[in-house]
């Protein structure tokens, strides 16, 4: 609204003139919507890790651990049956 840069910076608590310049440019180019906070970080895409993909990987790892433990228990039981001992827990 025609306010001097220093007055605008003081009124709105803006520490750097470059931030004010960037916000003014964004406003001129895209209006008030351009100043709304955007999404941060890498955009999701075919190569990015989504939450769903992370959970699928976690499920695969847990299934592999369960399979390993089942085999280990079966081998202990088989070994103890051959030696006549009870398996230790």
Is residue 52, in this structure, part of any structural domain at all?
Answer: no
Percent of the chain scored above 70 by pLDDT? 81
The whole-angstrom distance between residue 50's C-alpha and the CA centroid of its chain comes to: 8
87 pLDDT above the threshold of 60 = no
Is residue 29, in this structure, part of any structural domain at all?
Answer: yes
Tell me phi and psi for residue 66, to 5 degrees. -60, -45
Domain count, the chain: 2
* Domain of 9, in residue numbers: 5-35
Is residue 49, in this structure, part of any structural domain at all?
Answer: no
Position 75 scores a pLDDT of 93
Q: How far apart are CA 15 and CA 17, in angstroms?
A: 7
- Which value, in Å, is the radius of gyration of the alpha carbons in the chain? 31
Is residue 70, in this structure, part of any structural domain at all?
Answer: yes
Span 41-77, pLDDT tens digits: 666 666 556 788 889 999 999 999 999 999 999 999 9
């Amino acid at each position: 609204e025609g306010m001097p840069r220093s007055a605008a910076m003081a009124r709105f608590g803006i520490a750097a003139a470059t931030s004010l310049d960037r916000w003014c440019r964004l406003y001129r180019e895209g209006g008030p919507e351009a100043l709304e906070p955007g999404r941060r970080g890498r955009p999701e895409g075919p190569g990015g890790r989504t939450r769903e993909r992370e959970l699928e990987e976690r499920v695969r790892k847990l299934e592999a651990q369960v399979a390993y433990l089942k085999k280990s228990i079966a081998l202990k039981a088989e070994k103890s049956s051959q030696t006549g001992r009870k398996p230790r827990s």
